[in-house]
Amino acid sequence: YAMLLSLVFLIVLVAAIVGFVFRHEIKANFETNLNLALKNYNATVDQHSDAVDTIQRTLHCCGVQNYMDWEKTEYFAQRGIPQSCCKSQDDCSERDLKDLNKAKLKVFVDGCFFLVTSTMESKMSVVAGISFGIACFQVKSPLLS
């Protein structure tokens, strides 16, 4: 039992260290994948497009750095900025979404990359605290037996 707890403790410790050491690579990889998801966005039942829509709706953001990132995509050429960027679904026509000047007033202008990474970083202290608490409990538990 102590061996199993030691193994779990080591796994948690290594995961925390790896996450801390490679956090910049994780951010860069996330930014690359978010850019790729925008490039391949098609508004159908595709898991990447669905993820982009969910992020944009949930965090009230649009694009990677800002809403103008959509201008470089095939989807924008055909249909404009996606509906998931709209502040209000009732006041967001396809014609408005094809014009960046009009769209600026109707969509979230902030990009999602900064919001996602700052949200993750703000939650990391909570995750680290919980992991440390669990690890301490695991080390303390065999000693009490």
**Mean pLDDT, to the nearest integer, of 78-86?**
93
In tens, the pLDDT along 33-63 reads 999 999 999 877 788 899 999 999 999 999 9
Query: Quick check: 90 pLDDT over 80?
Result: yes
- Band (119; pLDDT cuts 50, 70, 90): confident
- Single-letter amino acid, residue 124: M
pLDDT of residue 16: 74
- Residue 76 confidence (pLDDT) above 80: yes
Supply φ then ψ for residue 90, to 5 degrees.
-75, -25
Q: Record the tokens describing residue 16, joined without a space.
A: 């925390």
Count Cα neighbours of 31 within 13 Å in the Cβ-side half-sphere.
15
Longest Cα–Cα distance of the chain, Å, equals 70
115 Cβ partners below 8 Å, 6+ apart?
59, 61
